[in-house]
Amino acid sequence: MQSNEFEYILPDDKIARHPVSPRRSAKLLRVTSSGALTHGNFENLPQYLNEINCDGLWANETKVLQARLYMRKPSGGRLEVFLLEPVERVVELALSACKESSWTCLVRGARKWTSGTASLILDGITLHATPVHPEEGLVREASGAFKLTFKWTGVETFGDVLDKLGCTPLPPYMQRDSDETDKEQYQTVFARFHGSVAAPTAGLHYDQVLLDELKKQGLPLNSLTLHVGAGTFRPLSEGDISNHVMHEERCVVTKRGLEKLANTKRRVATGTTTLRTLESLYWMAVIHKETGVFPKVIPQWTPYEDGEYNSRLTDFVNYEDAINYLLENVEFDPKDFTWDFQTQIMIRPGYQIKSIIALVTNFHQPGSTLLCLIAACLTTPWKDVYNQALAQDYRFLSYGDGCMIELKN
């Protein structure tokens, strides 16, 4: 299976640069398991979910960091610093740091910044950035990223620094700088836990009116967390998609969430990140049952037999069986009954989705791993669906419209 099989022509005028208002007025293309298409909007979502007997709606409650900082080099030149992830700590601890915080970053304008301190002084806050190892200077890693240590005065935590000085990390394909409205618009209304450098965009279509209607229909939103990394924008490697190396992303679930999963059968996921987390839970159970160990990271090809595209066989009868296994074996954090791990799994055509009966998602970039996931969910060729959406003037990518894909029962 070649990466060029996941390419399509996306006209520039089909890329949404700004969201619609209200959020729930965005278009929603319903794709049934037989391939039939229905054109509606997100206000139709409760009806659609009831028609497929959904008994559990899930979404990702990660919160987007104001991860872009504009600083000055010692020479006075401008630097654009894009925070990717903490060097050592988990995100929550790195944001709560009160003296210094070290992050892996992309830096634009770094070519002539070899040493010294970059600075940003604004609104009574002073922020300084230096290479993690000043004696070695600024060292570019193989990935193209740098490790920087930040120190500040004027506010208490690094999270406060980002809230005050950081800018919304809009995806590059929007081809514009963020403004103050993006701080609210590029964030789901149910976002709770800081940690992502990109929004879980399918969730951007939910507003409080829609959430209230879903709850009235017996479909309150259930939540889990996957912190979205910049790797989500990395295009597929050239050639066979088996050559592509997936990025790792951190998942957090609660004991209560697992109990809800175990007691439902007809679940619907909002967004590809939610689906990756739900499927990763299944493979965590498989790995532990086979090895007695929960790995820190689920390897990319865990779901497959060597050299095969189809999902491999396991000892679990169904998804609920695997979740009950986790409830019996996971050691949850005693403070908040959470469990976290990282996932690297890649969902591609041939993979058998186990956790859901439908996926609510946006329209994704050409040549992306997200298109591989979409193709695995659809029972009809993905290009046919995308061509129909383009012909009907659907808006694409992060601020664009959405679709609800019903999986084969």
Give the pLDDT confidence score for residue 11 in this predicted structure. 97
CA distances from 3 to 239, 241, 322 (A): 6, 5, 32
Query: Is it the case that residue 137 has pLDDT exceeding 90?
Result: no
Give the pLDDT confidence score for residue 7 in this predicted structure. 97
Give the pLDDT confidence score for residue 28 in this predicted structure. 98
**Is 135 part of a structural domain of the chain?**
yes
What pLDDT, in 10s, does the model give residues 18-28? 999 999 999 99
Using CA atoms, how far apart are residues 37 and 388, in angstroms rounded to an integer? 9
72 and 43 in a single domain? The answer is no
- Give residue 231's pLDDT band: very low, low, confident or very high (50, 70, 90): confident
**Boundary (domain end) residue, out of 166, 194, 223:** 166
Query: Is it the case that residue 30 has pLDDT exceeding 80?
Result: yes
| Containing structural domain, residue 99 | 68-166
346 and 245 in a single domain? The answer is yes
**Boundary (domain end) residue, out of 135, 166, 197:** 166
**Is 172 part of a structural domain of the chain?**
no
Using CA atoms, how far apart are residues 281 and 372, in angstroms rounded to an integer? 20
56 and 112 in a single domain? The answer is no
291 and 161 in a single domain? The answer is no
What pLDDT, in 10s, does the model give residues 49-106? 999 999 999 999 999 999 999 999 888 889 999 999 999 878 999 999 999 999 999 9
**Is 262 part of a structural domain of the chain?**
yes
Give the pLDDT confidence score for residue 289 in this predicted structure. 98
Compute the average pLDDT of residues 333-352.
96
**Is 191 part of a structural domain of the chain?**
yes
Q: Which two tokens stand for residue 12?
A: 């520039």
CATH number of domain containing 229: 3.40.1780.10
**Boundary (domain end) residue, out of 166, 198, 232:** 166
Using CA atoms, how far apart are residues 184 and 163, in angstroms rounded to an integer? 12
Compute the average pLDDT of residues 348-364.
97
Compute the average pLDDT of residues 251-268.
97
Tell me what percent of the residues of the chain surpass a pLDDT of 70: 100
Compute the average pLDDT of residues 317-329.
98
**Is 178 part of a structural domain of the chain?**
no
Give the pLDDT confidence score for residue 109 in this predicted structure. 86
125 and 224 in a single domain? The answer is no
- Give residue 234's pLDDT band: very low, low, confident or very high (50, 70, 90): confident
35 and 98 in a single domain? The answer is no
**Is 174 part of a structural domain of the chain?**
no
Q: How high does pLDDT run on average in the chain?
A: 95
Pairing of strands 358-362, 100-108: unpaired
Query: Residues 6 or more apart from 212 whose CB is under 8 A from it?
Result: none
Query: Is it the case that residue 346 has pLDDT exceeding 90?
Result: yes
Domains of the chain: total: 2
Give the pLDDT confidence score for residue 102 in this predicted structure. 96
395 and 277 in a single domain? The answer is yes
Query: Is it the case that residue 112 has pLDDT exceeding 80?
Result: no
229 and 160 in a single domain? The answer is no
Query: Is it the case that residue 228 has pLDDT exceeding 80?
Result: yes
**In this predicted structure, which of 175-189, 234-248, 281-295 has the lowest mean pLDDT?**
234-248
Among 137, 132, 134, 158, CA closest to 147? 132
Residue pair 358/382 in contact (Cβ under 8 Å)? The answer is: no
Element (H, E) at 140: none
58 and 72 in a single domain? The answer is no
264 and 307 in a single domain? The answer is yes
**Is 307 part of a structural domain of the chain?**
yes
Give the pLDDT confidence score for residue 138 in this predicted structure. 85
Give the pLDDT confidence score for residue 116 in this predicted structure. 84
Query: Is it the case that residue 307 has pLDDT exceeding 80?
Result: no
Using CA atoms, how far apart are residues 234 and 344, in angstroms rounded to an integer? 14
E strand segments, 136-288: 146-153, 193-196, 221-227, 249-254, 267-270
Give the pLDDT confidence score for residue 241 in this predicted structure. 92
Give the residue, 113 or 382, on which the prediction is more confident: 382
Residue pair 46/219 in contact (Cβ under 8 Å)? The answer is: yes
104 and 13 in a single domain? The answer is no
Query: Is it the case that residue 4 has pLDDT exceeding 80?
Result: yes
198 and 315 in a single domain? The answer is yes
**Is 353 part of a structural domain of the chain?**
yes
